[in-house]
Amino acid sequence: MIDLSVKKFRLNTLILFLFLLFSNCTSNSTEGEKHIFYVNQKLLSEESYTSSNFTFNTPKGWVLVNPKDSINLVFLSPIDSSMMLVNITNKFDPMGFSKPQYAEFTNNGINFQQNVYQNSIAVVFDIKIKKNNDSLSLYYAVPRIRMNENMTNIESSMGSLRFD
């Protein structure tokens, strides 16, 4: 019975986060700079990475596993194998995942399109980012049982995104 309560709590937490994210969505107009992400600098790596004219920080402690590939970047968490994929050319295969939850929003003048896929094992954030004619693709994949622990790290990393 306790295991079911914990699963419901985690699912409710995820739904609450997504609701808050959706409720803060803005139109694609660039009137003023609106920030919808709470960025906790303590949760981010000190090193910034640049790809497609966008600069970002990964969650703290996540390690770049393919430093020789300057286009497709892969970062892994040594704690729970969570990952961040940047501009990976292979499309995410949603087979085995629920229908995605879709959202569009703008943060700091950058447009985001997000699909969140879930199954009993993982939660995957498939994010397309655009500013002017430049675009970037990000995937964050985390084990479902560690979703709550990773949510603020992912939010801070997404919020750290800047256009150069």
β-strand partners of 128: 113, 137
- Lowest mean pLDDT, pick from 11-20, 69-78, 137-146: 11-20
The whole-chain average pLDDT of the chain stands at: 83
What is the per-residue DSSP string for the chain? -HHHHHHHHHHHHHHHHHHHHHHT---S--SS----S---GGGEEEEEEEETTEEEEEETT-EES-TT-SSSEEEE-TTT--EEEES-SSPP--TTSPPPEEEEEEETTEEEEEEEEE-SSEEEEEEEEEETTEEEEEEEEEEGGGHHHHHHHHHHHHHT-EE-
For the chain, the structural domain boundaries read 2-163
What's the confidence (pLDDT) of residue 71? 78
pTM of the entire structure?
A: 0.76
Q: What's the fold here for domain 2-163?
A: Protein Transport Mog1p; Chain A (3.40.1000)
What's the confidence (pLDDT) of residue 3? 55
> What would the pLDDT profile of 142-163 be if each residue is shown by its tens digit?
999 999 989 999 999 999 999 8
> 20 pLDDT exceeds 50?
no
> What would the pLDDT profile of 84-132 be if each residue is shown by its tens digit?
999 877 777 889 999 999 999 998 889 999 999 999 999 999 999 999 9
